Chain A
Amino acid sequence: MQFAVLSGFLLAALTPFLNNLFRQRLGLVLALLPAALAVWFASFIPDIMAGEVIVQEMAWIPGLDISLTMMLDGLSLLFALLISVIGTFVFLYASGYLAGHQDLARFYVVLLSFMASMLGLVLADSLITLFVFWELTSITSYMLIGFNHKDPEARKAALQGLIVTVGGGLALLAGMVMLANAAGSYSLQEILTQGEVIANNPLYLPMLLCLLGGAFTKSAQFPFHFWLPNAMAAPTPVSSYLHSATMVKAGIYLLARLHPSVGGTETWQILLPLFGATTMFVGAFLAVRSTGVKKLLAYSTVMALGTLTMLLGIGTETAMIAFAAFLLGHSLYKGALFMVAGALDHSTGTKDVTKMGGLRKVMPVTALAALVAGMSLAGLPPLFGFVAKELMFEAALGGSVLLTYTLVLALTSAAFVIAVAAIIAFKPFYGALKETPKKPHEAGWAMLAGPVVLAAISLAFGILPGMAGNLLVEAAASSVAGRPLDVHLYLWHGINAPLLMSLASLALGALIFWRWDAFRKRLEVLNPLIARGPEAGYFKMMDFLVWSAEGQTRLLQNGSMRNYLSVILVTLVGLVGYTLFYRYQLHWNWDVSFQIHELIVVGLLVGATAVVCTTRSRLGAVASMGVFGFAVALIFILFSAPDLGITQVLVETLTVILLVLVLFKLPSFVSLSTPAQRARDVVVALLTGGLMTLLMMVAIDVQIFPSISSYMIEQSQPLAYGRNIVNVILVDFRALDTLGEIFVLALAAIGVYAMLKLHPETDPGSNELAGSLVLPPLETDKAIKPQTKQQDGGSAS
């Protein structure tokens, strides 16, 4: 399984080369990997159905209890199959949708990395590994949303998504550490058996809140739902993969995964249905007032994510089964519908459903796929969406806490979603053919494969619900519940409460669809309220961040080198001096004998320093600094450290060379400080020097640990086959430090080069918004929000 995850990253690394080889067919070739993975994961179905959990161990950092162990159970398998099956169609689809795009190879590299990260996330056994993959999905998602990086809207949306999800990721990390401490292990296998212990931990509430913070931001739960519709700036293949079927479900996955250990408590049963049901309603409500086809789908995805959270919160057996069924059903129809949306956009050149019509004759296959998937979204028989929705109603009826709240919201949301489904399935395809920016045409087979196959699976699972139930839902629901469940899915439940609810919502939904335009007009009354929603809070927070950063920068980073130095040195003297006197008192070591040549070198040092401080010529100062440097080198050589001595001499030489190069560009020599400032600087300098002297004396006297140098001297020859201890330390004993240092060197080189050679304000391709954190709100649904103002972001300074 480790290789299954790794293969995605490997293929991503090879993609630029494959691009030269296959060109137009690259997407089709790359789709082979998710297809192979899908088959491979499917081969585990019999074992998983028998209740087995497949674990493949692999050590990573054993000292910290972090492993690359992978675990495959019902829940992981369901996710892994969704990721690889939908992934296959997304790659096919992308090869048609983005055909001829100049950055196609980059797109595939990131998409493959995303797929691998997502697989890693759902298979990881260690919380830390899971977290690493979690963050990788955030980062790859950022790059995918901002794929059209020249479009400022896309960049803004990408950054917003990143900040929200990564901010939640921080909370998640804290929650995971608390969880691991409570359970005594980072391994999920252990954690899942520790439910009692964890629930009784005194830190349970903060732990749960942190975990929910991570999951809710990732899965776009209210009040963090706003980033998801904005993320529709991504190319449609990305939306249909990340923002409907996979990544946004990572938060849901985490909640489901941890349900047996963290869930089931009273807090959980209140918080999750509360937020879930609210999200469900807000999503459905915002969906029905949108006209952009992708926006409609995005908000209905928010609704679905809310539903899943609610079901997890209810926590009964029916709710677990409903959860697994709804998850499967939603991924299938939403993936298909997004691909339909992309096909519409691709072929007509507009995203607004009110501007499309009568496309059924031009795009018959797309229309059929949209109809079937739309029926599943609406929850109509005989589609799998119907089975899932009936189960959802049944679970909502069985919930004990917040029963009325969830029930009412579930019913209204279902009605809204039926209207949304009808809008997508009928509006663009029926009625009179409307004028569109591009002349519409049917999509190619690569773009049709996804919607058709996914819609067909929705239909097959609907007609034979037992198949889906036995294959996937039972194992997944059992994993979520933490005990084996017996699942039998039926299309026909008989006439019961859920069916009556379905009928009621259907009637209401049909009414909304029929009077959609009027309904939307009515809803405009609420626009001021929506404008004040959580997204406004996000912008307020970002404004505050920039404001506080500016204040702090003015205070601490005012650009004066002398200020920096004195602040740093005074802090050093204060903190180290305090510790020194408090812990070790004074140590006075004057019984040192000096030799005459040593005194001469010291005299040189002191003299050179005095000249540097008092000279009135720059060249004189440079020369005295040189004397100082060479005197230090002499000291190294006197105390038998030839390597250090040579290095010092060479560095001094190169410093002179660099100084010569800049000497002509420097302003003329002036004295910038007043006598009072100079006096202050003298005091700071004396204090620092005095502290260092005392520190040395203490260091000579106090030996807390035996010196490590004796070990290195002894082991240099036998262990590292080298007589030069300095070099042995550099390249062997402490090679990791050196590796870090050469990276620092490289960064310094890049920094200097950028400072001297690049002129970001004037260079072509420069971007005045680069580096700005606050982004103006996106222009969404112009028809509904006409007064969206384009406020200016923070300046790039």
Chain B
Amino acid sequence: MMKPGTLILYAAARFLLPLQLIFSMFLLLRGHDEPGGGFIAGLVAAAAFSLYLFAFGSEVTRDLMRIDPRTLVGIGLLFGVASAFPALLHGQPFLTAQWWPLELPGGAELKLSTPLIFDIGVYLAVIGTVVTFVMALAESEEI
């Protein structure tokens, strides 16, 4: 096991985790128009969990995540595959993008679409993969 982190690391990890996660969501959602997207957002979120893991160890991180990162990979793949099917209902080729824009109160527009679902799938798969790597490495060290 790595040595217990310093006070600075503890404090930073505690405060940075939510900020990083929010930032990753921001990157995910703006991705279609501005730099960002599922892959980058996933990496940011994974980095957030990794930092937390450095400070508090993998047990605590597992509790915090509530879900096994490997399951997260599976859910990500499921989202990715699920986004491919709505097109078939319209008789279009597999994976053709479908758009369901929503007018939000206040004039904003929420662009719901299968690419968004797909991007969320990528996001979850990336988080799951990287956190699986990091946790497996950290835990193999504990033995």
Identify the A interface with B (CB < 8 A).
Answer: 642-643, 646-647, 650-651, 653-654, 657-658, 661-662, 664-665, 720-724, 726-728, 730-732, 735-736, 738-739, 742-743, 745-746, 748-750, 752-753, 756-757
Contacts and interface: CB of A to CB of B under 8 A. Distances in A.
Considering the complex of A and B, which 7 residue pairs feature the smallest CB-CB distances, nearest first?
A650-B43, A722-B32, A642-B35, A749-B129, A727-B37, A731-B115, A661-B137
B111 A721 contact: yes
B94 to A, nearest CB: 8
A726 to B, nearest CB: 7
Contact of A745 (B81, B99, B129, B134): B129
B32 A650 contact: no
A720 B31 CA distance: 13
B125 to A, nearest CB: 4
A337 B50 CA distance: 63
B61 interface: no
A712 to B, nearest CB: 14
A661 B40 CA distance: 22
A731 B129 contact: no
Contacts of A720: 32, 97, 115
B118 A654 contact: no
B126 interface: yes
Contacts of B140: 756-757
A731 B128 contact: no
Contact of B95 (A658, A736, A752): A736
Nearest to A734: B95
B57 interface: no
B59 interface: no
A745 B46 CA distance: 14
B73 A739 contact: no
Nearest to A720: B97
A745 B141 contact: no
Nearest to B115: A731
B137 A658 contact: yes
Interface of B: 31-40, 43-44, 46-47, 50, 54, 69-70, 73-74, 76-77, 80-81, 83-84, 94-95, 97, 99, 111, 113, 115, 118-119, 121-122, 125-126, 128-130, 132-134, 136-141
Given A735-B95, A748-B129, A647 B40 contact: yes
Nearest to B38: A731
B47 A661 contact: no
Nearest to B77: A746
A724 B47 contact: no
20 contacts: A643-B40, A651-B43, A654-B130, A657-B47, A658-B133, A721-B99, A723-B32, A727-B36, A730-B39, A731-B37, A731-B118, A731-B119, A735-B118, A736-B95, A738-B118, A745-B73, A748-B129, A749-B73, A752-B136, A753-B132
A731 B138 CA distance: 32
A654 B54 CA distance: 12
A742 B125 contact: yes
A283 B104 CA distance: 75
Contacts of B46: 654
A182 B120 CA distance: 48
A728 B32 CA distance: 6
A730 B115 CA distance: 9
A748 B113 CA distance: 28
A416 B80 CA distance: 60
Nearest to B126: A745
A646 B40 contact: yes
B43 to A, nearest CB: 4
Nearest to B32: A722
Given A658-B137, A720-B115, A757-B136, 15 more contacts: A643-B35, A654-B46, A657-B47, A657-B134, A721-B113, A724-B36, A728-B32, A730-B39, A731-B119, A742-B76, A746-B73, A746-B77, A746-B125, A749-B73, A753-B136
A746 B83 CA distance: 17
